[in-house]
C-alpha cells in the first residue's frame, strides 16, 4: 500500500457521500412530478432511460414511490449515461424547465464532486456563497480567460457564477492542459472576498504544481493582468443569415461574439437556427439586448456585423429597432457601428484576393479609390458592366464599392450586378 492510498480512500468516500446526497435530491425532484406518480408512468420512465443509456437497469420492488425513485436514481448513476439520460427523458416527457433546470444543475454538481473534495469543505462553502451572488455576465467574462471555456457561452441554466463553476468543474482540461475551472476561478477572483481569494490562489497553485502545470497557471495569470488593464475593447456581435433552401419560409441564423484582442476565442450564441423572415428583427434585438446586459459593467464598444447573402443585401439592418417596446425606439445604426459583410465571399475563398487588394487600396489611397453606380439599364447591362470593370487592368483594383440608387430589388439582375461589381 502506498502512502497516498489512505488519502485516496478517504477522498473516494467523501465523493460518494456528496453524490449520495445529490442523488437523493434528484430522486426528490422526480418524486415531486405528478406526471410520474403512476406505476405505468414509472415503467415508461425506466424503459426510456434504458433506451437512452443502452443498458438494462434492474430496479427492485419498493413499498413506496419515494423509495422507488431513490433506487432508480442510484441505479442510473451506475451506468455510463447516468443522470444525463434522466434529464433527456424528462425533456421528452415535457416536464419543463422547472424540473429539467434543477436536474441539470444537480448533474453538474454530481460531476464536480471530486473537485469539491479537493477544494475542502470550507473553501467550497465559501465559493458557493460568494459566487451564487455573482452575475452571469461577470462569470461569462471570467470564462474568456480559459482558451477552451471561452469557445462557447456557459449553458443557459448557469445563471450565476456558482453554477458556472459547477459546470466547468466537470469538464475536461483545456488545450494547455490546465483544468478549465482553474482558469475560470483566476478570472473571477475580483468577485471574491480577500480571504476567499487568497484561499483560491493557494488552491490553484497547489493543483497546478501537482499537475506539473505551474507555467501554464502563470500564463493564465498574465492574461488576467493584461485584461484588467484593458478598460475598453471592441466587441463584435456577428449575425449570419442564410437562406434555407429546404424551407423557403425560414432563414437559418447563426450568431456569436468576438473580442478584438482574442480573435481565436469567441462566444458562440446559436448555430443554424431556423427563423421566419419576419422574426429576424426581433431576434437581432434580443441578441443586442443580451450583449448590453453581458457588458453592463464595462465600457466596451459594441460593433454589429451582419453576414448576408446577396438575396438579403436589401435588408435595412442599420434601421432595425432597438428597445422596440419603448415609446421612442432607436435604430441600431444610431447606437452602434453596423457592418454588412458578404456571405458569398465567406463561401468563395477565390474571391478574397481581389477583395483584399481593393480594401488595401481604400485604406492606403483613399483619394484615388473610386465607386461605381449600378443602374439597371435593361438587356445586356450586366455584360457591359463586366466589360467596363475588366477593360483596364490598372483600373479595376481602385473600384472599392458599388452604390445603389434605390433599395435593391430581388431580381436576378441585382444578384449579377453585385457578383460582378463587388465580389
In this structure, the answer to whether residues 246 and 324 fall within a common structural domain is: yes
Contact 401, 418 (CB under 8 A): no
In this structure, the answer to whether residues 342 and 360 fall within a common structural domain is: no
Determine whether 5 is exposed, middle or buried from the number of CB atoms within 10 Å of its CB (0-12, 13-18, 19+). exposed
Contacts of 374 (CB under 8 A, 6+ apart): 385, 402, 403, 404, 405, 417, 421
In degrees and rounded to multiples of 5, residue 128 shows phi and psi of -60, -45
Query: How far apart (Å, rounded) are the C-alpha atoms in residues 313 and 342?
Result: 8
Q: Note the pLDDT tens digit of each residue in 374-414.
A: 555 666 665 666 666 555 444 455 555 555 555 555 555 44
In a domain, residue 163? The reply is: yes
In a domain, residue 69? The reply is: yes
- Mean pLDDT computed over every residue of the chain: 81
Contact 85, 52 (CB under 8 A): yes
Residue 385: per-residue pLDDT = 61
pLDDT value at 1 more than 50: no
Residue 339: per-residue pLDDT = 92
In this structure, the answer to whether residues 146 and 62 fall within a common structural domain is: no
In this structure, the answer to whether residues 363 and 314 fall within a common structural domain is: no
Kindly state the cell numbers that stand for 76. Answer: 442510473
Q: Residue 130: enclosing H or E segment and its boundaries?
A: helix 121-132
Residue 358: per-residue pLDDT = 73
Q: What is the CATH number of the domain that holds 245?
A: 3.30.420
In this structure, the answer to whether residues 413 and 370 fall within a common structural domain is: yes
Q: Compute, in degrees rounded to 10, the torsion defined by CA atoms 61, 97, 237, 351.
A: 50
DSSP string for 241-271: EEE-TT-TT-EEEEEEEEETT-TT-EEEEEE
In a domain, residue 5? The reply is: no
In this structure, the answer to whether residues 134 and 221 fall within a common structural domain is: yes
CA distances from 220 to 116, 119, 134, 266 (A): 22, 20, 21, 17
In a domain, residue 9? The reply is: no
Any idea which of 269-283, 334-348, 393-407 has the lowest mean pLDDT? 393-407
In this structure, the answer to whether residues 266 and 181 fall within a common structural domain is: no
Within 10 angstroms of residue 384's Cβ, the number of other Cβ atoms is: 10
Query: How far apart (Å, rounded) are the C-alpha atoms in residues 29 and 171?
Result: 25
Kindly state the cell numbers that stand for 341. Answer: 459583410
pLDDT value at 259 more than 50: yes
Of the residues 81, 111, 141, the one at which a domain ends? 111
CA distances from 247 to 170, 274, 343, 368 (A): 39, 9, 19, 45
Within 10 angstroms of residue 367's Cβ, the number of other Cβ atoms is: 4
In this structure, the answer to whether residues 66 and 160 fall within a common structural domain is: no
In a domain, residue 310? The reply is: yes
> What mean pLDDT comes out for the span 118-136?
93
In this structure, the answer to whether residues 223 and 129 fall within a common structural domain is: yes
Taken in order 66, 72, 77, 81, the sign of the CA dihedral is negative
- In three-state secondary structure terms, 276 is coil
In a domain, residue 7? The reply is: no
Query: How far apart (Å, rounded) are the C-alpha atoms in residues 182 and 204?
Result: 6
| Domain count across the chain | 4
Residue 329: per-residue pLDDT = 84
In a domain, residue 4? The reply is: no
In this structure, the answer to whether residues 342 and 358 fall within a common structural domain is: no
Residue 404: per-residue pLDDT = 53
> 118: closest CA among 14, 257, 201, 235?
14
Of the residues 90, 111, 132, the one at which a domain ends? 111
In this structure, the answer to whether residues 73 and 93 fall within a common structural domain is: yes
- Whether pTM exceeds 0.75: no
In this structure, the answer to whether residues 274 and 186 fall within a common structural domain is: no
Of the residues 196, 229, 262, the one at which a domain ends? 229
pLDDT value at 419 more than 80: no
Query: How far apart (Å, rounded) are the C-alpha atoms in residues 394 and 401?
Result: 17
Contact 275, 283 (CB under 8 A): yes
Q: Note the pLDDT tens digit of each residue in 60-117.
A: 888 888 999 999 999 999 888 889 999 999 999 888 899 999 999 999 999 999 999 9
DSSP string for 323-371: STTSSSPEEHHHHS-EEEEEHHHHH-GGGHHHHHHHHHHHHH-TTT-EE
In a domain, residue 3? The reply is: no
> What mean pLDDT comes out for the span 172-179?
76
> 82: closest CA among 61, 114, 55?
55
Q: Which range of residues forms the domain containing residue 78? A: 14-111
Q: Note the pLDDT tens digit of each residue in 217-253.
A: 887 777 666 555 455 678 899 999 999 888 888 999 9
Amino acid at each position: 500500500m502506498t502512502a497516498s492510498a489512505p488519502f485516496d480512500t478517504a477522498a473516494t468516500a467523501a465523493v460518494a457521500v456528496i453524490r449520495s446526497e445529490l442523488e437523493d435530491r434528484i430522486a426528490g425532484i422526480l418524486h415531486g412530478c405528478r406526471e410520474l406518480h403512476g406505476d405505468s408512468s414509472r415503467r415508461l420512465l425506466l424503459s426510456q432511460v434504458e433506451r437512452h443509456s443502452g443498458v438494462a437497469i434492474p430496479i427492485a420492488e419498493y413499498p413506496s414511490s419515494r423509495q422507488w425513485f431513490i433506487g432508480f436514481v442510484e441505479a442510473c448513476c451506475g451506468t455510463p449515461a447516468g443522470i444525463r439520460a434522466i434529464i433527456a427523458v424528462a425533456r421528452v416527457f415535457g416536464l419543463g424547465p422547472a424540473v429539467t433546470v434543477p436536474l441539470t444543475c444537480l448533474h453538474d454538481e454530481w460531476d464536480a464532486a471530486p473537485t469539491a473534495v479537493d477544494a475542502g469543505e470550507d473553501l467550497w462553502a465559501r465559493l458557493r456563497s460568494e459566487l451564487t451572488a455573482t452575475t452571469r455576465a461577470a462569470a461569462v467574462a471570467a470564462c474568456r480567460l480559459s482558451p477552451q471555456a471561452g469557445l462557447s457561452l456557459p449553458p443557459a441554466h448557469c445563471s450565476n457564477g456558482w453554477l458556472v463553476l459547477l459546470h466547468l468543474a466537470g469538464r475536461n482540461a483545456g488545450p494547455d492542459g490546465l483544468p478549465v475551472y482553474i482558469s475560470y476561478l483566476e478570472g473571477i477572483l475580483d468577485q471574491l472576498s480577500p480571504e476567499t481569494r487568497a484561499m483560491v490562489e493557494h488552491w490553484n497553485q497547489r493543483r497546478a504544481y501537482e499537475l506539473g502545470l505551474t507555467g501554464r497557471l502563470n500564463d493564465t495569470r498574465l492574461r488576467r493582468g493584461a485584461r484588467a488593464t484593458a478598460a475598453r475593447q471592441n466587441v463584435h456581435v456577428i449575425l449570419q443569415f442564410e437562406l434555407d433552401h429546404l424551407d423557403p419560409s425560414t432563414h437559418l441564423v447563426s450568431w456569436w461574439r468576438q473580442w478584438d484582442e482574442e480573435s481565436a476565442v469567441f462566444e458562440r450564441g446559436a448555430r443554424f437556427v431556423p427563423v421566419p423572415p419576419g422574426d429576424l428583427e426581433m431576434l437581432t434585438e434580443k441578441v443586442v439586448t443580451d450583449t448590453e446586459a453581458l457588458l453592463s459593467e464595462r465600457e466596451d464598444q459594441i460593433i454589429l456585423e451582419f453576414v448576408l447573402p446577396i438575396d438579403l443585401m436589401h435588408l435595412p439592418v442599420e434601421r432595425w429597432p432597438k428597445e422596440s417596446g419603448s415609446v421612442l425606439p432607436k435604430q441600431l445604426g444610431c447606437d452602434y457601428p453596423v457592418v454588412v459583410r458578404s456571405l458569398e465571399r465567406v463561401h468563395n475563398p477565390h474571391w478574397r484576393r481581389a477583395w483584399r487588394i481593393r480594401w488595401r487600396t481604400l485604406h492606403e489611397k483613399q483619394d484615388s479609390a473610386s465607386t461605381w453606380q449600378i443602374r439597371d439599364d435593361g438587356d445586356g447591362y450586366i455584360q457591359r458592366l463586366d466589360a467596363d470593370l475588366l477593360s483596364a487592368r490598372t483600373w479595376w483594383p481602385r473600384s472599392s464599392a458599388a452604390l445603389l440608387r434605390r433599395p435593391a430589388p430581388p431580381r436576378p439582375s441585382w444578384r449579377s450586378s453585385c457578383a460582378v461589381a463587388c465580389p
